[in-house]
């Protein structure tokens, strides 16, 4: 069995689990408000580490917090409320893809914070936080990239990985020399730490976990500016010129959908990213849409029929920036409606 088939079957099992009407759901009285997350992928070792602070709101008192988590190693964990730190007991349950943080005393209704350190592997299953491999001038390369729909964000960080559990995200990426980082928002600040760059990105709008995106690797791009917003088509080295048609189509479709809806695209930038190893055709991560290279890049030898298909996929994903991203289904069993709207508009 090929690696690609194994990857698709692995993803299907996770999706089938999430679609079950009687499948496990997180407690409804605890919701996230904001995530502040730092990731440090190691491409050479195919691993990543991270730490996060999740601001949460409890509608009623409780002595435990349940998060989604799958194939992660949980390290230090602290829960803070009213200036008091508590170290919870940590219980992982793989069947439900959760981690339960249990306290000896109850958290009161109101706001609290969870601080967690975690680590994991950059997998080869094309979901979660994974490795995408490619070749440049005969040399093998790889990037770290995310695919979180659905439900794969839990494979990258402990979180409330359900579509109606929306929150804002402040992401930081620690990247090695010669590497770049991409996320949903533009870089707000760049620091140096022990010979590496720390890229701090602007805070996202409130959104579900499955729309969060990160990538670390070697990239190049073509770009334009439209109404004060930066639009880029991002590729692996050597393929930037193949993004010219996609860049032109993206700018035109974006303007059309803004006029059609009467709602301006709300983010300051839009990246269209060609991924060498990518299971889905494309994915509507807010502000950082990912595509199979075949469905984004073209050259003078590209057929008219393939260019038409490329235009359809770009239009489909751009419409999701409104229907799907700005407005999101409550549960995965309404994903068909989300996709139907995008098919109709494309």
284 in catalytic set? no
**Are residues 256 and 184 part of one domain?**
no
Most confident by average pLDDT, 3-7, 16-20, 297-301, 336-340? 297-301
Q: Does 242 lie in the same domain as 156? A: no
Catalytic residue of the set 149, 300, 317, 339:
317
Task: Indicate whether this model's pTM tops 0.85.
Answer: yes
Number of structural domains, the chain?
Answer: 2
Percent of the chain with pLDDT over 90: 86
Task: Among 184, 217, 250, give the residue marking a domain's end.
Answer: 217
Can you tell me the mean pLDDT for 3-27?
58
* pLDDT computed for residue 138 by the predictor: 87
pLDDT in tens, 186-218: 999 999 999 999 999 999 999 999 999 999 999
**Phi, psi (degrees; rounded to nearest 5) at 299:** -140, -170
**Domain termination site, one of 198, 217, 236:** 217
Same domain, 163 and 273: no
CATH number of the domain at 303, please.
1.10.390.10
Q: Residue 256's domain spans which residues?
A: 220-345
Query: 203 Cβ partners below 8 Å, 6+ apart?
Result: 34, 168, 169, 170, 185
Q: Is the pLDDT of residue 233 over 60?
A: yes
């Amino acid at each position: 069995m090929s690696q690609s088939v194994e990857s698709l079957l692995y993803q299907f099992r996770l999706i089938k689990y999430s679609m079950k009407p009687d499948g496990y759901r997180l407690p409804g009285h605890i919701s996230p408000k904001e995530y502040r997350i730092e990731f440090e992928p190691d491409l050479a070792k195919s691993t990543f580490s991270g730490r996060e602070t999740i601001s949460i709101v409890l509608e009623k008192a409780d002595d435990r917090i349940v998060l989604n988590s799958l194939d992660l190693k949980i390290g230090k964990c602290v829960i803070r409320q009213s200036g008091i730190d508590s170290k919870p007991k940590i219980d992982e349950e793989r069947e439900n893809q959760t981690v339960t943080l249990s306290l000896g005393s109850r958290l009161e209704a109101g706001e609290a914070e969870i601080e967690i350190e975690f680590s994991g592997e950059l997998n080869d299953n094309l979901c979660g936080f994974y490795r995408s491999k490619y070749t440049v001038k005969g040399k093998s390369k790889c990037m770290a990239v995310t695919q979180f729909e659905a439900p794969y964000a839990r494979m990258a960080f402990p979180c409330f990985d359900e579509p109606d559990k929306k929150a804002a995200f402040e992401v930081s990426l620690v990247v090695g020399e010669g590497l770049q980082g991409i996320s949903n928002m533009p870089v707000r600040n760049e620091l140096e730490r022990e010979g590496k760059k720390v890229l701090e990105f602007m805070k996202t709008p409130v959104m579900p976990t499955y729309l969060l995106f990160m990538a670390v690797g070697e990239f190049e791009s073509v770009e334009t500016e439209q109404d004060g917003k930066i639009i880029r088509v991002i590729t692996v080295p050597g393929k930037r010129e193949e993004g010219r048609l996609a860049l032109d189509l993206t700018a035109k479709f974006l303007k059309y959908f803004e006029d059609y809806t009467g709602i301006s695209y709300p983010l300051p930038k839009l990246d269209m990213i060609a991924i060498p190893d990518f299971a889905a055709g494309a994915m509507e991560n807010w502000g950082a849409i990912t595509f199979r290279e075949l469905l984004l890049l073209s050259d003078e030898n590209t057929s008219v029929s393939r260019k038409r298909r490329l235009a359809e996929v770009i239009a489909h994903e751009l419409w999701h920036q409104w229907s799907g991203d700005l407005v999101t289904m409550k549960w995965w069993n309404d994903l068909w409606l989300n996709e139907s709207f995008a098919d109709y508009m494309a």
